[in-house]
Structure 1
Amino acid sequence: MKYFSEMIDLPVLDSHGENLGVLQDLGVAPAEVFPHVTSIVFHKVKEAAAVVCWEGCVDHVDAQGVHLAVTADEIRPAEREEAQVLLARDILNKQFVDTQAVKVARANDLKLSQSGPRQLRLLGAEIGVSGLLRALSPAVERIACRICSSVGKPLTERIVAWSYMDLLDRNIDEIRASVSHKTINELHPADIADIIEQVDPASGCAIFAQLDTAQAAETIAEIDDEDLLEELLKGVADGEISAMLAHMDPDDAAAFIGDLDQQRGDALLQLMDERDEHAIKRLLSYQENTAGRIMTSEFVALPGYAKVCDAFAAIRRLEEDFESIYYVYTVDEAGALTGVLSLRTLISAQESDRLQDLAFRDLVWVAPQLDQEDVADEMTKYNLVAVPVCDGDRRILGIVTVDDALDVIAEEHDEDLRIAGIGRGDNATGESTHMLVWFAQRQYWVLIWALASAAGAAALGALDADPALILYPMCAMPVALLASGGMVSFVKNYFLEHDDREGTQSAYGAFLLKTTVVGVVLAALVLACAYLVDDIALPDATQAERDLFLACFAAAAAVTLLSAVGAIGCLRLLRWRDEHDLNTSGTALGVISTLISAVLFTAISIAAVIAMA
């Protein structure tokens, strides 16, 4: 086995042993499961780089160099082919898509294998740490391997086979001709969207440009980042975008149009056919985050007197890209919903049976104004894969399908995690396993404490007081900071548990009373503890020092009480941002609250120090 990083800069020797230059690159034929090396590129001494055919020219490769089977005069130059892949230029240290793991990876090194007396083949890319260390120096890799093995955690090789590699930096159609490769456009649209979100914008646009209209439409529906969507569609004509919208489900198309400015949205709608335009405009007429906004207008509803054979005929007439059918609904002469049949019921029935005789009449339906979270709750409660949306006369307007309900649940879950200050990479307890992230989320108060103490010492010095007196505020400040952070955590938990969107004045009054009582109790405990430890902590202190110690803890108690009373403002802010669909970071909320408490405590305690000094 050979690694490409170990071959770069090897001397190229002719059959007489004459040094012709150093190896720069290897060319491979991409249209194979394991491409064989077709050419070498080496930098000739005092001349430009030369390209030489591998077959017939190269004898073997070893640690001493690349040994040619011909003399310098017999070298047969080869032209650089556009379809050829050069390992150093096109793959090494470049990003690619691992189509097996469906993720973006980086080729830290490339593994090659001898497959015959004079043939070398590319096996795949090394994406692990070993490849990075080997690129620095093989000696560094060997030392690291010994160290890791000695502690029982050996460095393992992580190879992605060529057959699962899809390059990003070049036009895949130009360098790939083999059906043995699973390329990006063969992946599920959700996987393509994930990959586009992982790479840089330029690579994302290159991937998006390879997709056909239907794939592009489905991929757009999976991307939530509005800035990324704008970047992807920056150079796409309105006609092409409207064609993509025509391939999307009406609810997804409405969500996309709703995120655009009205002028651009209207222009795209005018380019669509009348039926699609009407369906999307009807969905846009409902408020965001309601059943009417996320429902689809694609469903099957038939009169109750229709037969099972009529239902099957109606399903067969549907277009290929029609929304998945889970149920067939029955309606009366006025169009009001009267019953529902599952596909299983239809399949089990006789074709001559009437739908009204088979339909389930104990219906669950929702109003178009119902909040999308409540819709998802209803579908979860009754184990539905689709729920009809009806007006006041029970006329069916559309259906909300399980995929939309899952999107709502995932969206609300992510929002709750942000408010709680928990990231996706955290464990089940909500604690991140990354040290810096854990510190930023949970122990930021330590940094605020240090900064506030330094600022307080500087303020004392500027006011001609002894900066050493900052030690007294420093002892009491953590109490105020931790109480503030704890109160924010309580508010976040209360909001997540009682997110009923009511926010009545009586509810706010009860919450204020509750937090105020808690604040008074905590403040009393802080003062009591300060008086209890006064004699123990400062046995040899003067009365002035004891008074200063107690004054600083009194300041901590005051800030603790203010934090508890101010919790109502934090709750109102969370509810207001939730009503306006604004994301809120729980960690940011905690940091801001702790900073405010630090400023208040520092100001009060410094004033006390100056007054008592």
Structure 2
Amino acid sequence: METLADTLQELLAAQHWDELKTFLSQKNPIDLAGVLPSLPATECALCFRLLEKPKAVEVFESLEIDDQQTLLAGFRDEQVRDLVEHMSPDDRAYLLDELPARVAKRLLRMLSPSERQATSLLLGYKENTAGRIMTPEYISLKTYLRVSESLHKIRKIGLDKETVYYCYVIDEQRKLLGMISLKDLVLADPEGRIGDLMHREVVAVHTDDDQEVVAHAMKKYDLLAIPVVDREDRLVGIVTHDDVMDILEEEATEDIYRLGAVAAPEQSYFKAKIFTVATHRVGWLLVLLLTNTLTGSIIMDQNTLLQSVVALAAFVPLLIGSGGNIGSQTSTVMVRGLALQEVTFSNAFLMLLREVGIGLILGSLLGAMVVIWAYWLQGDWLVALVVGCSLVVISTIATFFGGLLPLIFVRIGIDPAVVSAPFISTMVDVLGVFTYFQIARLIIFR
């Protein structure tokens, strides 16, 4: 089956420009955004020029930020201005935010006064806040308007707005009074007043709220868009569901990188330069490497014990590996629980106690099996008992710290995803080896 990319390349090679233009006009902008960057730069730019302006803007907004920059570099100033001018303010602000300062200022100067003002407004808010990701393109109504008048207004200006599914009711000072859906407007009496039909209890966020707070609010209340108000409760913009999808993907990607002890690169990981990726990963690995030297130091300090019972050394990898895995599992579920707000400070103690209980059960089950396995391997019941008891204690310690550290990090204002699986594993390695040899001394040399 011929793919979209294959068809594009065939039409480009044959130089059938009219046919190519027709073909591009029939395709979904999202699909085109996924294919065009894979073409050579000149062919990608050529396809882009054949698109109608509204569709070209849609495709451009759907591209990855580094693909947008590459495409802009190949356009003349006039083409760049037309493209950026017609972007939605929030997407434009994101683009300018990622561009070098000199380039961003040049593009900003190209915009019309109204679009420049809208973009500058968004760029004035802190990164990763509701104010930075919102769009000022929303529909507002007044309480005294009739339904028929409101629908007429929507028909007149709706095409230039981000969404018309929700209309927001404001007063003369732009303070948010209520909200009415397009469905309610269509089904209402044409002579009805907006003030009588609007929903007065509106879920809203503030301009300085973190973007994750916005995403959680929209998910919790199942909204397609959420209004953003300033410190005086004046409506200044809305955040739409497509922006929230981008936020959730961005935050999930960031957390996954951190859980793997990888510092997220500024651009796409697989498009970043190899040396850049290596420098982002080496930091945590050096920390973990230095920490692991403590494990080696503890083992060296037990030289006399190991010479007396050589079989003890054989089970060190088993114990620290099992403890690290259990601790990593606990930290993962706790970080996820905090992200979904299933774990809060009001129930944190119970959740931690629950995880410790799980660790004790896991350690007991695995420990019982390991005792038999250890005896079968080396034939000494005392060594087997040391291994089994150590696994119970190490599993409990691992779940305790795997559950506690994310809570501590949240309390001091650090992303709990920093408590990555490798970090927990390394810490449990040190504590596990120390615990193992202490238990061995108690049981074998009591």
The structure-2 alpha-carbon separation of the partners of 1:174 and 1:277, relative to structure 1 and needing over 3 Å to count, comes to: farther
Contact conserved, 1:385 with 1:402, CA < 8 A, in 2? yes
Contact conserved, 1:473 with 1:605, CA < 8 A, in 2? no
Q: Report the equivalent of 2:339.
A: 499
Q: Does 1:371 align with 2:213?
A: no
The structure-2 alpha-carbon separation of the partners of 1:550 and 1:219, relative to structure 1 and needing over 3 Å to count, comes to: same
The structure-2 alpha-carbon separation of the partners of 1:564 and 1:320, relative to structure 1 and needing over 3 Å to count, comes to: closer
1:108-130: per-residue Cα shift (whole Å, max 9, x none)? xxxxxxxxxxxxxxxxxxxxxxx
Residue 407 of structure 1: how far off its partner (Å): 3.4
Q: Does 1:190 align with 2:30?
A: yes
Q: Which runs of 5+ in 2 are unaligned?
A: 261-291
More relative contact order in 1 or in 2 (CA 8 Å, sep 6+)?
Answer: 2
SS at match of 1:183: helix
Contact conserved, 2:375 with 2:384, CA < 8 A, in 1? no
Q: Report the equivalent of 1:160.
A: none
Mean alpha-carbon deviation: is it higher for 260-269 or for 270-279? 260-269
Structure 2 residue identity aligned to 1:295: M
Distance 1:408 1:401 in 2: 11
Q: Report the equivalent of 2:161.
A: 322
Residue 279 of structure 1: how far off its partner (Å): 0.8
Distance 1:257 1:180 in 2: 31
Q: Report the equivalent of 2:9.
A: 167
Q: Report the equivalent of 1:484.
A: 324
Matched length: 397
Residue 283 of structure 1: how far off its partner (Å): 1.5
Q: Is the helix fraction higher in 1 or 2?
A: 2
Contact conserved, 2:90 with 2:132, CA < 8 A, in 1? yes
Q: Report the equivalent of 2:402.
A: 567
SS at match of 2:226: strand
Q: Report the equivalent of 2:48.
A: 211
The structure-2 alpha-carbon separation of the partners of 1:182 and 1:538, relative to structure 1 and needing over 3 Å to count, comes to: same
Structure 1 residue identity aligned to 2:9: L
Distance 1:352 1:527 in 2: 76
The structure-2 alpha-carbon separation of the partners of 1:551 and 1:353, relative to structure 1 and needing over 3 Å to count, comes to: closer
Residue 267 of structure 1: how far off its partner (Å): 2.4
Mean alpha-carbon deviation: is it higher for 521-530 or for 243-252? 521-530
1:345-385: per-residue Cα shift (whole Å, max 9, x none)? 43445655443344333333332233334334433444433
The structure-2 alpha-carbon separation of the partners of 1:577 and 1:531, relative to structure 1 and needing over 3 Å to count, comes to: same
Residue 419 of structure 1: how far off its partner (Å): 7.2
The structure with the larger Rg is 1
Instruction: Calculate the TM-score normalised by the size of structure 2.
Output: 0.67
Contact conserved, 1:488 with 1:567, CA < 8 A, in 2? yes
Contact conserved, 1:297 with 1:398, CA < 8 A, in 2? yes
Q: Does 1:402 align with 2:241?
A: yes
Residue 522 of structure 1: how far off its partner (Å): 7.0
Distance 1:264 1:503 in 2: 44
Contact conserved, 1:368 with 1:389, CA < 8 A, in 2? yes
Q: Which runs of 5+ in 1 are unaligned?
A: 1-95, 106-164, 422-451
Distance 1:604 1:382 in 2: 48
Q: Does 1:291 align with 2:130?
A: yes
The structure-2 alpha-carbon separation of the partners of 1:474 and 1:209, relative to structure 1 and needing over 3 Å to count, comes to: farther
Distance 1:504 1:261 in 2: 40
Residue 494 of structure 1: how far off its partner (Å): 1.0
SS at match of 2:177: strand
1:231-282: per-residue Cα shift (whole Å, max 9, x none)? 3334345554343221111111112222223333222212111111111121
Q: Is the strand fraction higher in 1 or 2?
A: 1
Mean alpha-carbon deviation: is it higher for 171-180 or for 250-259? 171-180
Contact conserved, 2:143 with 2:193, CA < 8 A, in 1? yes
Mean alpha-carbon deviation: is it higher for 259-268 or for 292-301? 259-268
Distance 2:431 2:408 in 1: 20
Distance 2:332 2:137 in 1: 39
SS at match of 2:145: coil
Structure 2 residue identity aligned to 1:488: S
Structure 2 residue identity aligned to 1:218: E
SS at match of 2:208: coil
Distance 1:331 1:413 in 2: 35
What pairs with 1:254-273 in structure 2 (closer than 5 Å)? 254-273=93-112
Q: Does 1:389 align with 2:231?
A: no
Q: Report the equivalent of 2:63.
A: 223
1:292-322: per-residue Cα shift (whole Å, max 9, x none)? 2222101222332233454344334428443
What pairs with 1:423-572 in structure 2 (closer than 5 Å)? 473-499=313-339, 537-539=377-379, 563-564=398-399, 566-567=401-402, 571=406
Residue 603 of structure 1: how far off its partner (Å): 10
Structure 2 residue identity aligned to 1:493: V
Query: CA RMSD of the aligned region, Å?
Result: 4.9
Residue 222 of structure 1: how far off its partner (Å): 1.8
Distance 2:171 2:344 in 1: 41
Instruction: Calculate the TM-score normalised by the size of structure 1.
Output: 0.51
